[in-house]
Every structure is written in C-alpha cells, then in structure tokens.
C-alpha cells in the first residue's frame, strides 16, 4: 500500500519569496521520516508541497520534481484532489469540522467524495477510529459533536479522518505541538502503529520526538532570515542524533544553534 515519495530539486515560493530551495529527499514506504530544523526553515512548506496544499495560498507555487512511486505529483494532467486523497494530512492544530458529529467527521472524506452506503461508512468509521486509538473512548457517543472532544482526542479524530480515506502517505505538520505529554504519547504510539501501513512524514520541533518515532531524519536550515531553507543533512535518525556528518546539524541538535 505505502508508496515512496521522492523530491528532486524542489523549490517553493510565496509570491516572490523563495521559502525552500533545491530539496532532494527520498522518503521510503512504511517508514517515518522526520523533518526538523529551526522556525522558518521551510519544513512545513516542503511538507505542504508534497500533497499540493502549498498552492492553496494565493501566489504560492512549487518548482522541481516531486513523485509518488515515480508518478509526477505536479504533472499537467494530475487531479489535485486525487493527489490529496492519496496523500493525507494532519495539521498542527486539530481542526474537526464544527458542524459535524464525531461519526460524520471521520467519514467526511468518504462522504464528500461520494461514498453513500451506510454499511461501508460504518465499517470505515470503526476501522479508522480503532486505528487512531480513539474507538474505545468515543464509540458510545459517535453522534456527539467532534468539537466537544478534548484537544488530544480531537487530534486523534483528525488522524482518523485522514486515514479513513485510506491514503498511501500521511503527512503530519507538528501534530503534537498543541497537546499535553499524555496525548503526545498516544499520538506517538499511534504513529509507530501507522508505520506498518503508511509512509509517514512528520514535521516536529521536538527533537526527542523525532528521535523516538522516526526512522530517518532530515535537517533543514536557513543561513539568515529571508534566505530560502535548504536541506542540510538527511540520514538514519540514529546517525543524525549520535554522529551527524555536518557540523551545523550537530550544533542544532545539541542546542548550540539559533
């Protein structure tokens, strides 16, 4: 199921401002890739480029080549909605749809893409909620509003919503930064489980988290404010955190940077 994402010379712009430049990365299927680096270095921009969410903002565009199992994501004849169905995304702040119940939130992606059969939706809902470790907490109140859950539960609800459409790749943009340590632990456990099925790319500011959950880590950085972000080093997580080959990576990881 899971697919390989490959970036070759990817640059992304916000209008005239170049946010990232020349990113080359290969993200392996059924593994967790962590993107770390200081604020403003373009980690999130790169992540949003992968499922074409970057271009949602006015004036934003992407150059270079991004492929999913050697299919061009930015190809001329590519349907953006199909890309996003294949590459799901979880955001920094939980964003359940406020007008929908827990059930409707989970199956929103299926329902809004035309799936009507109640039994299919029921099965998908239970499967996604179980996968997101939320089923036991909410299965008795599926018709309650999704916005009534706690922050950690809401984030897991959003993860369930993202995986209910059965994507191949899940992008996570600082999914735990608005959560307490216990909810963070729940999500990290979840990430290790999801790894068996999906390709996961996670942006995080928490280096312990990157070390805990990821197989490979990419370190992004900028020279100074206003410069585009670049990929400094990309390697096995254990290597990045124990024996990085670039001085800058070591400085950042040991806290001597910025």
Partner 1 sequence: MTTLTTPTISSALHVRRLPAWAIGVTAAGAVALSVALFSGLGLLGGGPVLTAVGAVVLFLVGLSVVSTVVEGGRAARNRVATALVYSAFVLALLPLVSVVATLFGKGTGRLDADFFNHSMRNITAFDANGGAYHAIIGTLEQAGIATLITVPLGVLGAIYIVEYGRGAGLFILAFWILIVSPHLSPNGRPFYSGFAASLALSVLMLPTVTRSTEEMLRLVPAALREGSYALGVPKWKTILRIVLPTALPGIVTGVMLAVARAAGETAPVLLVALGSPRINFDPFHDPQESLSVYIYDQATSASRYAPARAWTAALTLVALVLTLTVAAKLLSRRNTLNKGK
* Range in contact with partner 1 (rule: CB under 8 A) among 94-102, 179-187, 188-196, 239-247: 94-102
Residues 6+ apart with CB under 8 A from 78: 71, 72
Distance CA 160, CA 163 (A): 5
Is 91 or 241 the residue whose CB approaches partner 1 more closely? 91
Q: Is 177 in the site for partner 1 (CB under 8 A)?
A: no
DSSP letter for 148, please: G
- Per-residue x/- marks for partner 1, 137-156, CB under 8 A? -------xx-xx--------
CB of 86 to partner 1, least distance (A): 8
CB of 223 to partner 1, least distance (A): 30
Contact (CB, 8 A) for 145 and 102: yes
DSSP letter for 229, please: B
Site size with partner 1, rule: CB under 8 A: 33
SS (H, E, C) 46-61: HHHHHCCCHHHCCCEE
Q: Is 5 in the site for partner 1 (CB under 8 A)?
A: no
Distance CA 64, CA 234 (A): 19
Q: How far is CA 179 from CA 151, 188, 248, in A?
A: 7, 12, 29
Q: Is 113 in the site for partner 1 (CB under 8 A)?
A: yes
Question: Which of 13, 91, 219, 241 lies at the binding interface for partner 1 (CB under 8 A)?
Answer: 91
Q: Is 124 in the site for partner 1 (CB under 8 A)?
A: no
Distance CA 84, CA 229 (A): 24
Q: Is 162 in the site for partner 1 (CB under 8 A)?
A: yes
CB of 118 to partner 1, least distance (A): 18
- Positions touching partner 1 (CB under 8 A) are 51, 53, 56, 58, 81-86, 88-89, 91, 93, 95-101, 108-109, 112-113, 144-145, 147-148, 158, 161-162, 165
């Amino acid at each position: 199921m899971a697919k390989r994402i490959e970036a070759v010379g990817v640059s992304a712009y916000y209008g005239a401002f170049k946010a990232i430049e020349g990113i080359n990365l290969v993200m392996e299927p059924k593994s967790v890739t962590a993107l770390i680096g200081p604020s403003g270095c373009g980690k999130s921009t790169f992540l949003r480029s992968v499922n074409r969410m970057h271009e949602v903002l006015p004036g934003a565009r992407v150059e270079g080549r991004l492929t999913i199992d050697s299919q061009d994501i930015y190809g001329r004849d590519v349907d953006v909605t199909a890309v996003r169905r294949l590459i799901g995304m979880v955001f920094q702040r939980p964003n359940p749809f406020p007008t929908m119940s827990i059930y409707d939130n989970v199956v929103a992606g299926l329902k809004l893409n035309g799936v009507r059969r109640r039994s299919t939706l029921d099965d998908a809902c239970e499967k996604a909620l179980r996968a997101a470790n939320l089923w036991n907490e909410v299965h008795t109140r599926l018709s309650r509003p999704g916005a009534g859950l706690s922050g950690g539960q809401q984030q897991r609800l959003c993860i369930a919503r993202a995986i209910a459409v059965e994507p191949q790749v899940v992008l996570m943009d600082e999914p735990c930064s608005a959560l307490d340590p216990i909810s963070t632990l729940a999500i990290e456990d979840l990430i290790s489980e999801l790894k068996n099925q999906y390709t996961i790319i996670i942006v995080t500011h928490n280096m312990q988290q990157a070390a805990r959950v990821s197989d490979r880590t990419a370190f992004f950085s900028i020279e100074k404010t206003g410069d585009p972000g670049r990929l400094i080093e990309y390697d096995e997580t254990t290597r990045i955190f124990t024996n990085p080959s670039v001085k800058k990576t070591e400085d950042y990881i040991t806290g001597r940077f910025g």
